[in-house]
Amino acid sequence: MLMHQTMRWFGPNDPVKLSDIRQAGCAGVVTALHHIPPGHVWSITEINIRKFMIGSEGMTWTVVESLPVSEAIKTQSGDYKKHIANYCQSLRNLAACGIKVITYNFMPVLDWVRTDVNWKLPDGARALYFEKNAFIAFDLFLLRRPGAEKDYTKEEIRQAKDRFDLMREHEKQTLFANALLGLPGSDVAFTPQQVLNALETYREIDADRLRQHLFYFLQQVIPVAEELNLQMAIHPDDPPYPVLGLPRVVSTEEDIAAIISAAPSSSNGLCFCTGSLGVRPENDLLAILRRFNEHIHFLHLRNTAKDGYGNFYEATHLGGDTDMFLIVKEILQIQRKLGKSLPMRPDHGHQMLDDLDKKTYPGYSAIGRLKGLAELRGLELGVYRWMLDQ
């Protein structure tokens, strides 16, 4: 049984068209209603409009990515109980429309973070890159977050200052813009004041408290998902360690174990992202796959290459630190055990060829993801046929 191959689409304004995704070999689409603010209900009408768009191109809406969790829910402030009730209603509406897998994350304020979204590779393609010294420099000298110096060692601050002093003015502006990119699906970047104001709302929230807020959310939502036969898939933190003084609670194997234990149910599961989890050296991806196999509902197969200091970049899908052969082999064994095909998508493809001259959301140009999907499909078929012969 092979994986169900999909690709992410950001909706009608995405320069990558649905026809492009179908030509890439996908039967399914991963998308969300990005125009509806977090905390509001996704109506059946809006869901069906999006379903019709996808269906008219001969594909299905396979996975929601993401049904966002509002900051009010994460901080347990304001109308957070109403937002949770609205979230549950959105789940009911999605189930009524036949959509079964719902991805979400619990990252405070920012989604994924990079310092360079156009990092040039030796072959001329461009990738996403996270440089630790540059990020610390952004935090200390550009954003000027109050109290930021407490989060770094003297040596880290010294190296960040040296890095900052070498930057030309346009490099500082580019770093600033990259670090404050908006959420996926949006062309609107955060302003410094918006970020500082949002960070202030987390001033009294450490990892333990944020984790309890996540558990409370799950305990309200998972029973509804279970009743509706939906699969909730939490996406790991990216990168999987604290940034800007914000806690991260979905970064390690034990984080995942605590999340599943907080609301025991087959509906409570994981979006297994090899890229996010693979950045943290102590994470054993095969062990995580094996331990939580029945709770893995969605797969992001991408690869990163990291060093010992905390820098990493998006490598080719088969060429980073993660042994994708072993990952794919384990996934196929899990699928055989469970008797079902898991939805999978490539992620964060390189910007390359004709796409170098096009404007797309960083990491989501068409050709680089098509290359990644083709590599993964070939690897999967080879592993599958090899397993049949054993």
- Calculate the average pLDDT of the chain: 95
pLDDT of 184 reads: 57
Residue 11 near residue 46 (C-beta atoms within 8 A): no
Residue 193: predicted pLDDT? 86
Radius of gyration of the chain (CA): 20
333/322 Cα distance (integer angstroms): 18
pLDDT band, very low/low/confident/very high, at 181 (cuts 50, 70, 90) = confident
Separation of alpha carbons 334 and 353, rounded Å: 36
Three-state secondary structure call for residue 38:
coil
Sign of CA dihedral 192, 130, 208, 63: positive
Q: Judge whether residue 225 has pLDDT over 90.
A: yes
Instruction: Work out the pLDDT band at 191, boundaries 50, 70, 90.
Output: confident
Class of the 4-109+204-389 domain? alpha beta
Quick one: which of 350, 364, 289, 294 has its CA closest to 320?
350
Predicted pLDDT of residue 21: 96
Q: How far does Cα 97 stand from its chain's mean position?
A: 24
Over residues 4-47, the pLDDT tens digits come to 999 999 999 999 999 999 999 999 999 999 999 999 999 999 99
Amino acid 185: pLDDT: 52
Q: Which residues pair with 7 in a beta bridge?
A: 29
| Percent of the chain at pLDDT exceeding 70 | 98
Cα angle, residue 62 at apex, residues 296 and 218 outer, rounded to 5°: 45
- Considering only CA atoms, which of 381, 273, 375 is closest in space to residue 329? 381
CA dihedral 331, 336, 340, 344 (to 10 degrees): 20
Among 356, 369, 376, 302, residue whose Cα is nearest residue 10 = 369
Which pLDDT band, with edges at 50, 70 and 90, does 192 fall under?
A: confident
Structure token pair of residue 139: 């935090």
- Mapped onto helix, strand or coil, the DSSP state of residue 283 is coil
pLDDT at 190: 74
Provide the pLDDT confidence category of residue 160 given band limits of 50, 70 and 90: very high
Cβ contacts of 154 within 8 Å, gap of 6 or more = none
Residue 72 near residue 84 (C-beta atoms within 8 A): no
At 77-101, the pLDDT tens digits run 999 999 999 999 999 999 999 999 9
Straight-line distance from the first to the last Cα atom of the chain, in angstroms, rounded to the nearest whole number: 15
The residues carrying an active-site annotation are 235, 273, 300, 347-348, 364
pLDDT of residue 194: 85
Q: Positive or negative, the Cα torsion across 199, 204, 206, 208?
A: negative
The first and second tokens of residue 23, run together, are 């030509």
Q: Residue 375: count other Cβ atoms within 10 Å of its Cβ.
A: 18
Domain boundaries, the chain: 4-109+204-389, 116-196
